[in-house]
Each structure stands twice: as structure tokens, then as C-alpha cells.
Structure 1
């Protein structure tokens, strides 16, 4: 069996991915994030298509949309977008979970259903097809399009018992399918800890991706994590409310200089309405959007001395390894 990456329109060879945004959002259809801020609601298919078109025009080819069931995933709208870009761009969709805050601690299905019953639900999304209702229940109606990555989340400074359960489910799903695992780390905390949790469950480090560590700009913490053999997806340039781009870029440069360029990925994680140019334009606003990753942040990396080989690794070569299924599990 040859290496493959699972897009919603079918499996492709990793070499077909091209420039890849390893963590982003185009549609979010509500869910618990909306209780944090209404700008998490993103339902405009036309705006989402334009945003993806902007990314493609800047040189992008593949986007990983990290909206799990019950937390923003909209299978129907995303498939409309994917089909509109057939032959132009690839979309990888996720199954799995988010941080514990987004689940009722007493009555959610993540709490009440046994792990051995949830694992087959995850496997079905990856090997049979996604539930078009995203397990909102009680009816499950599968499409033929499959998820290509499983997501979990951890909380700020802790790994909640519900999150530990989700991680065990993700690990078992990986063992039965080979699917890669991406972790939402809240404000960049618990990265080293969650990696060790998964490694103890025999998940191969090269199939683990950590997101949001840019919000915890500790380069020595990054190095400690990377020594475990995992990938870090540095997302969120154009977020001065956290840290300026220069902090993220300088940390990436330092990691490349330490020899870790083969374990770094890039993304925008533009998961709010006003983070995206096309959505903003519908309200008369201006913003840079997802293409900023390629039009502004990559030039900054070059300005700071990150060579083209390292940039190609982060955008093209490393995603081919991180997002491919583990064939030893199939």
C-alpha cells in the first residue's frame, strides 16, 4: 500500500498536497464556541469560497479544516466548497473532539458513552464516511466523504478527565486506522504533557501534531517538545493581540537553526469572522485573511534569514509526513 493523505474528495499521494495550511477554518456552524464570541459563527459559503480562492491565488494547495463534530463542523457546506475547488485545492476534514469546556460534564455523549463504543464512531467517520449531522443525534446519516485527521483538545494548564478520555479514544482510533492526531493546546500549555500521554498509549510521535504553541512563545519549551519527535503547527500570525509576528518568526528561525525544520508546520487558524478577508468584506471591513500566511508571514521568515529549503519543509515536505496515514496500522 502506498502512502496516502485522506481528503474529503478521496485519498491522494502526499506529494500532491503542495503548499499546505495545516490548521484552519472556512465554515463554523455554531456550537459551544459561539457562547465565547459570536464571531465564531461562519456560515457564508460564498465568502468561504473566496477565502480559499485567495489562498490558492497566493500559492496554496491544501487546507486542513479543524472543526470536529458538535464544535462547528458543517459537512454539507464544506463539501459544497470542496467540490467547487476540485482539481484546484484539497481539503482535509476532521473528526474527534475539542477541549472539555465545550462538553457538558454530566450529560454529553463524550461523558456518558463508553470509550469502546465511541471508538467505532470515530473509525466510521474515517473509513466509511462522515455523519452529515456531525453526531448531533439521534439520527446518523453518512456521506461517502471521509475525515482525514482526528482532533483532541486540552485545557489551560490541565488535561481534564474528559480530555483524557478523548485522547484515549483518539489513540485507539489511530491504532485501528493509522489516522494522524492533532491537538488543540489552550494558549500553548500542556503540549509536552499531552505528547507524553499519547506516546504512553503507543501513538507514533510523527503522527502527533500540536497547535497553538505560538501563544506560549517559549522556544526552549518548543525544543523540549520537539525532542520527542512530534510536529508543531505554528498557527496564528497576524495576531498582535497575542504576540507580534516577529516573535513567532524569530522563534521559528531559532528552531530551524537548532535543526528542527523537519518537524515544523505552518497555519493561520483563522477561526473567527474578522480573521478572514472575504468574510470581513461582507460587512465592509478590511482584513488580510488566510492568504496572509503566504503573502506576509513567509516573506518575514525570509527577511529574518530562514532559507527556502526550510520554508519548503514547513509548507510542503513536512505536511506530507505529518498528514499521511500510518501504514503500519493498516
Structure 2
């Protein structure tokens, strides 16, 4: 790769130092057939969320919503410009269960082309596949594993993500189903498909609070996403602090990313994206120290989402 690393936001590429305090994994828009009635598809509510995040000291938000799940990138760009928060959007594909056969059928045979086009030309609504690519460019590829395994769909999407990375330099963010299959994901992406560990972000590690496994994953060099709390996974939230403390003590504080991962209307209302700054960060500061938490919110995401773009 050539050139200085930059973060690709919905308003264009920026110096990583401009990113600032970052919610490294969240959703302003998200709608799935698995969550009927809980859609995040209201631009006014999304704008209020982003404004509140900025008011609490937030500077950047990374939306992991991939193709076909209502990512609304044009709205993201409008809100980013009006509110003054950097926003990074995603291309990619989630688990197969999230999609109707119609949406999945449009892209499944041309994933690399779709991912690369979203990253380099501009995003396109899934319901308007023949429209010109006038949307903002995506800044990462989001894919997903299965529960405790890499199933055929995950293998297909991860392979396409790896090729898209090789062609563009884009970071790859991975939804680990309930925090599982982390080592299997690293083996596929980094060992078999030659993606550098520093270009891989594993999400939801807090949902499988196995300290030995988390440390083993950290030793591979990938970025470690701890995102929540989640109403669906609140039973593991209380173990987040012990897990982060252990990783920091083992020397892996520079790999940790923090996010809110709001995926439903109920979660937007409570605790909401700003919980990361109003409650979680202060508690972590008491436990780990301000410099460590600042790195998790500023320096680490600046490195995780920056790359020397090839296109």
C-alpha cells in the first residue's frame, strides 16, 4: 500500500488524528427481518441520537450496518455535515438469516464487486439496485460468523471481504455471533486469506466472556471490539470490566475498541449510544485510568479504521 493512512468517512477521507472520541461500533439505521417492529429507520430519531452523542463529547461514530439492512448512507452524510460528527459507513453482508431471498439474490454472486464499488464509487440502496452510485463511500467491510463456527455463508462473505481488502485496503469488521468463533475467524482471514491482523476488528467479544480465549485472540494482533450493553446480552455486561482489566494488564490495551451497538428501537431509548460516554467510560476510567480509556476511545479507533487506500 502507498500513501498516508486515512479514515474514509461519509463526507470523504480524513486524517486519523481528526477522528477524535469514537463510538467504534453502533447503528443509527438498522432494519432486519429478524427484529420486526424494532427497526431503526427514523432520520429524526437518528439525528437526535447523533446530536446527543456530540453533546456528550463524541466526535465520531462508526456504523456497522452492511448492505441490505437499511444503512441510509445519504442520511448519514447529511447528519454528519449538519451535526458535526464524523460518520463511517459499512459495506459487506450480515448473516444469511437477516435477508430476504430477493435481497440476498441480488448480490450473492458478485460480492467482491459490490463491496469494492461501495468502498470506491459510492453506496447504493438495496431496493434501488439499478440507480447510479451517488451515495457516500463506505469505509469498512462488515461480515459475520455463525455460532461457534464459520458456516458456508460466513466463509463466502469473509473470502469476498478479504479480496475487497486486497483491492482497496479497507478494514474488515466481523460480527461474532454471541462472541464465538473468534479464533476460527482469525485463522480464515489472517492465516488463510492473508489479511493483516491489524486490518481486522472482531466485534462482540464481551458476549463470550472467556478470559483465556479473549487473551488468545488478542495475541493474534487483531483489534478487539467490546460493544454494548445490549438488552439481549445483558447477562454478560457485568463481566466486561474484569475482561478489559485483564487484557490491559496483559499488554493489549492498544487493541481495544468500545462501542454501543444499538440495533433496536428499544435499545436506542435505553441505554442509547451515549451510554458509552456518560456511564461506561467514567466507570472504566476509575478502574483503568484516564489515559488507558482515552486510548480506547481515540488512539485505537484512529488506527483501526485508517488505511492507506488503494482506490
TM-score class, shorter: over 0.9
Number of aligned residues:
308
Q: Who is 2:250 aligned against?
A: 258
Q: Partner of 1:165 in structure 2?
A: 156
- Which residue of 242, 248, 260 maps to 2:234? 242
- How far apart, CA to CA, are the structure 2 residues paired with 1:83 and 1:42? 20
Matches within 5 A, 1:12-27: 12-27=14-29
1:244–1:109: structure 2 CA closer, same or farther, 3 Å change rule? closer
1:97 to 93, 98, 112: 93
1:291 maps to 2:274? yes
CA RMSD of aligned residues (A): 2.0
Tell whether the 8 Å contact from 2:173 to 2:200 is kept in structure 1 after alignment.
yes
Could you tell me the TM-score, scaled by structure 1's length? 0.87
CA distance in 2, matches of 1:98, 1:107: 12
For 1:240 and 1:119, the matched residues in 2 are separated by 32
Question: Which residues of 2 match residues 128-139 of structure 1 at below 5 A?
Answer: 128-131=121-124, 133-134=125-126, 136=127, 138-139=129-130
State the partner residue of 2:295. 313
1:187 equivalent in alignment to 2:173: no
Output one character per residue of 1:215-268: Cα deviation in whole Å (capped at 9) or x when no partner.
Answer: 111111110101100001100126485335431012101111111001100001
Partner of 2:134: 143
CA contact (8 A) 2:33 2:99 kept: no
- Residue 44 of structure 1 and its aligned partner are, at CA, apart by 1.7
Distance 1:179 1:211 in 2: 16
Deviation of residue 141 (structure 1)?
Answer: 2.1
- C-alpha displacement of 1:299: 1.4
- Deviation digits for residues 264-295 of structure 1, max 9, x if unmatched? 0000101110112xxx3xxxxxx331111111
In the superposition, the TM-score normalised over structure 2's length comes to 0.93
1:221 to 213, 216, 239: 213
Provide closer, same or farther for how the CA distance between residues 318 and 138 of structure 1 changes in structure 2, counting only shifts above 3 A. closer
- Provide the C-alpha distance between the structure 2 equivalents of 1:192 and 1:26, rounded to a whole number of angstroms: 29
Assess if the C-alpha contact under 8 Å between 1:238 and 1:292 holds in 2: no
- Distance (Å, rounded) in 1 between the aligned partners of 2:130 and 2:245: 49
The whole-number CA distance in structure 1 between the counterparts of 2:6 and 2:43 is 28
Taking structure 1 as reference, are residues 308 and 71 closer, same or farther at Cα in structure 2, changes over 3 Å only? same
Asked if 1 retains the 8 angstrom alpha-carbon contact of 2:119 and 2:137, the reply is yes
* Greater mean alpha carbon deviation, residues 203-212 or residues 151-160: 151-160
SS at match of 2:13: strand
Q: Alpha-carbon deviations, 1:108-156, whole Å to 9, x = none?
A: 337851xxx431221111111111x23x454132115200000000111
